[in-house]
């Protein structure tokens, strides 16, 4: 695929309050470059409310609505209706929420927005825990991960349950467009954000978002860890438009997941058997995704990631 250039205009400014190496900050920056200034962003309680708005400042060059954590989907449906009533149908409405506020606390609101077929873009940046309040596990935390509520010790070996398949849930609503994005692959990121920009109806972007303090690695490693996530198959890059699935970074062979896991302190307690289990699960998911992309079948329902048989 031809390489795109990244659009030059900056709608996210310096002086924000993100940690060094914060991938959600990079995700917002790339997203707004793709969407442009005619955009309104609705952000629930999450790291991004803190990043954007230490009162009375703002790091964003577009209007931002601060909404309750459970209400992002409803808020963007309301913003869409209000903008249309004012004759502003060209304004792009965006929800930008964390994984806790999306796949757990705001799931009903997201489902409502998708089912109403709201003309808006919902972005879930996935740092795989409730980071803003101190690294508590979310439904999107991966199995085995240390968090403050899934500690490592005699009676706990990190999170016991697998990561929730948010894209499978979203695809069951038959959105116009859904994709996985990773700021470590900025051209792919911007192209997908631009595709979402140019479509109408409900669009959903699942953004991989490494977090240095929460994942326990040093901040200059963010881009490398993001690349490893995709190249090991932990976070494959693909898009689904009107039911057709396309992988946007193809790999003949996956890198070993150990390279990804060993780079982060949150997985430091995993032994070789644990890592072999993760490797097998990642391979199964990757094979399923490739089969789906090869077939003419639509991925909604059944979902992309049916439970693994025992
Ligand atoms: C109903 C409700 N419950 C809990 C909170 C407290 N709270 C504020 S931010 C936050 C963490 C959100 O996590 P996530 O959505 O994953 O975003 P992140 O902090 O990781 O950016 C929580 C639990 C709240 N504001 N409202």
Bond prior to 168 in cis (omega within 30° of 0): no
The three-state secondary structure class of 234 is coil
Query: Distance between CA atoms of 203 and 117, rounded to whole angstroms?
Result: 9
What is the reported pLDDT for 300? Answer: 52
What is the reported pLDDT for 2? Answer: 55
Choose one of 72, 132, 211, 266 to mutate for the ligand 1 pocket test, by most ligand atoms within 8 angstroms of C-beta: 132
More confident residue, 60 or 309: 60
Ligand 1 centroid to residue 234 C-alpha, Å: 25
Ligand 1 centroid to residue 97 C-alpha, Å: 9
Query: What does each C-alpha distance from 198 to 34, 70, 176, 179 come to in angstroms?
Result: 10, 27, 11, 14
Choose one of 17, 28, 42, 69 to mutate for the ligand 1 pocket test, by most ligand atoms within 8 angstroms of C-beta: 69
**Per-residue pLDDT tens over the stretch 111-150:** 999 999 999 999 999 999 999 999 999 999 999 999 999 9
Interval 287-309 mean pLDDT: 67
Ligand 1 centroid to residue 46 C-alpha, Å: 5
Query: Distance between CA atoms of 84 and 165, rounded to whole angstroms?
Result: 33
Q: Given the CA of residue 106, which atom of ligand 1 is nearest to it?
A: 15
More confident residue, 14 or 280: 280
Ligand 1 centroid to residue 131 C-alpha, Å: 8
Ligand 1 and 139: CB distance under 6 A: no
Choose one of 128, 130, 138, 213 to mutate for the ligand 1 pocket test, by most ligand atoms within 8 angstroms of C-beta: 130
**Per-residue pLDDT tens over the stretch 83-92:** 999 999 999 9
Ligand 1 centroid to residue 149 C-alpha, Å: 14
Ligand 1 centroid to residue 255 C-alpha, Å: 33
Ligand 1 and 108: CB distance under 6 A: no
Report, in this order, helix, strand and coil percent for the chain, each rounded to 5: 35, 15, 45
Average pLDDT score over the chain: 94
Specify which residues 121 forms β-bridges with: 94, 203
Cβ–Cβ < 8 Å for 57, 12: no
What is the reported pLDDT for 294? Answer: 87
For the chain, list the domains and their CATH numbers.
Answer: 23-294 (3.40.50.970)
The model's pTM: 0.95
């Amino acid at each position: 695929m031809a390489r795109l250039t990244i659009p030059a205009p900056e709608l996210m400014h310096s002086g924000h309050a993100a940690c060094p190496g914060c991938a959600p900050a990079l995700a917002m920056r790339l997203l707004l470059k793709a969407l442009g200034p005619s955009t309104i962003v609705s952000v629930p309680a999450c790291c991004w409310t803190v990043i954007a708005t230490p009162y009375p400042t703002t790091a964003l060059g577009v209007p931002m609505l601060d909404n309750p954590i459970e209400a992002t989907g409803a808020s963007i449906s309301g913003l869409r209706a209000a903008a249309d009533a004012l004759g502003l149908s060209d304004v792009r409405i965006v929800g930008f929420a964390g994984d806790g506020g999306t796949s757990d606390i705001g799931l009903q609101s997201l489902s409502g927005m998708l089912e109403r077929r709201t003309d808006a873009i919902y972005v879930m940046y996935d740092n795989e825990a409730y980071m803003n309040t101190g690294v508590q596990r979310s439904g999107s935390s991966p199995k085995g991960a240390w968090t403050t509520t899934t500690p490592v010790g005699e009676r706990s070996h990190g999170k016991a349950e697998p990561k929730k398949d948010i894209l499978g849930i979203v695809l069951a609503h038959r959105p116009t467009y859904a994709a996985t994005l990773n700021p470590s692959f900025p051209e792919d990121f911007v192209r997908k954000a631009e595709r979402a920009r140019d479509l109408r109806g409900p669009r959903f972007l699942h953004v991989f978002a490494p977090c240095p303090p929460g994942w326990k690695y040093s901040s200059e490693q963010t881009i490398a860890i993001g690349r490893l996530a995709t190249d090991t198959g932990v976070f494959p890059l693909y898009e689904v438009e009107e039911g057709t699935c396309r992988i946007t970074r193809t790999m003949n062979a996956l890198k070993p997941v150990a390279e990804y896991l060993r780079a982060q302190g949150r997985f430091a307690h995993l032994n070789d058997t644990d890592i072999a289990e993760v490797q097998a699960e990642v391979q199964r998911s990757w094979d399923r995704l490739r089969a789906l992309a090869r077939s003419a079948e639509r991925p909604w329902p059944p979902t992309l990631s049916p439970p693994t048989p025992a």
